[in-house]
């Protein structure tokens, strides 16, 4: 299993600030990635563009300060 795309994605995720988004284009719906990024404070919007083209917008939630 190639891990390079995952490492690149996780590197890009580190650069996303609260309220900002990362858009990922993939040949499949990356369901396992949704769970990983949800735990890191992201929401996602998934769009099937074509049979082998998915667009996922991950948005980092804004931290609530008290």
Interval 16-53: pLDDT, tens? 999 999 999 999 999 999 999 999 999 999 999 999 99
- pLDDT band with cut points at 50, 70 and 90 for residue 65: confident
The burial class, CB within 10 Å (0-12 / 13-18 / 19+), for 9 is middle
- pLDDT band with cut points at 50, 70 and 90 for residue 63: confident
Q: Which pLDDT does position 4 carry in this prediction?
A: 78
Res. 2: pLDDT tops 90: no
């Amino acid at each position: 299993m190639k891990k390079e795309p995952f490492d690149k994605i996780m590197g890009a995720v580190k650069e996303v600030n609260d309220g900002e988004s990362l858009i990922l284009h993939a040949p499949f719906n990356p369901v396992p990635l949704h769970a990983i990024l949800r735990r890191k404070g992201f929401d996602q919007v998934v769009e099937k563009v074509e049979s082998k083209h998915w667009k996922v917008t991950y948005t980092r939630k804004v931290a609530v300060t008290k």
